[in-house]
Chains A and B, each alone.
Chain A
């Protein structure tokens, strides 16, 4: 390793993150962006357009990103703004066709279980207040640490923890409601 390639910050234990080109960023994070947009409520028919908008912004601004935070959270922030625009303009998302998922799953049982879970999660996320939903997506679905999620959302850490607690309660209660509804439906 040359002196020039050493991190300037002596406290830094992590290796200095390599700058990704736009193409590398696209390859590595396309799925993440696409799924984030979907979770944030962009209609399936508009996901490609929204993902395109996100990556146009990424292309224009990637050089400004300083790697002080995770690239993933920076991309999420762009996806969040894009999703808000799309949700304002368009109708709520219908669920994906069963056949698409069923065709790709290892067994029909797996396919149905995953599809049902996805439907329930979609419905529950749509019910939850946006501020809480976004935090839930970042922390519970993307496994991003709360301090980092707070930073990307511009929240104080205590506010983020408090909001996350409420989001988890909302989510847990909604899961129970859905299960109760399903059990009632399936009772003879």
Chain B
């Protein structure tokens, strides 16, 4: 069986949880980031995305240098879009 948490420790957790609730967070900024990240592959174009996808499935690093560069570009592009203010329609809304 488990021992119970020390009452002092429990009281401290209760206080900290209240403090946590007040911490500022960026719900909308993160939402925009998610939308942008999800939209990034589409922005690459179908052929590039297909090439990247195909290369990503090659085991043991057999992808060509050009394809590896493309994959890197895809990754870089996805990351660099994070701070973008671009607002796209939600992909989950039909």
Contacts and interface: CB of A to CB of B under 8 A. Distances in A.
A174 to B, nearest CB: 8
Given A23-B92, A34-B25, A56-B37, A121 B30 contact: no
A19 to B, nearest CB: 12
A96 B21 CA distance: 13
Contacts of B27: 30-31
A177 to B, nearest CB: 11
Contacts of A23: 90, 92-93
B26 interface: yes
Interface residues on B, range: 35 or more
Contacts of A104: 22, 24
B90 A172 contact: no
A47 B33 CA distance: 12
A52 B37 contact: yes
Interface in A8-63: 21-23, 26, 30-31, 34-35, 38, 47-49, 51-52, 55-56, 59
Contacts of A47: 25
A155 interface: no
B22 A105 contact: yes
Interface string B17-59: 1111011111101110110011000000000000000000000
Contact of A114 (B16, B26, B90): B16
B38 A56 contact: yes
A175 interface: yes
A156 interface: no
A110 B12 CA distance: 13
A180 to B, nearest CB: 12
Contacts of A169: 3
13 contacts: A21-B92, A30-B30, A31-B25, A35-B20, A48-B26, A52-B82, A56-B38, A100-B23, A120-B12, A121-B13, A121-B16, A140-B10, A169-B3
Interface of B: 1-6, 8-10, 12-13, 15-20, 22-27, 29-31, 33-34, 37-38, 82, 90-93
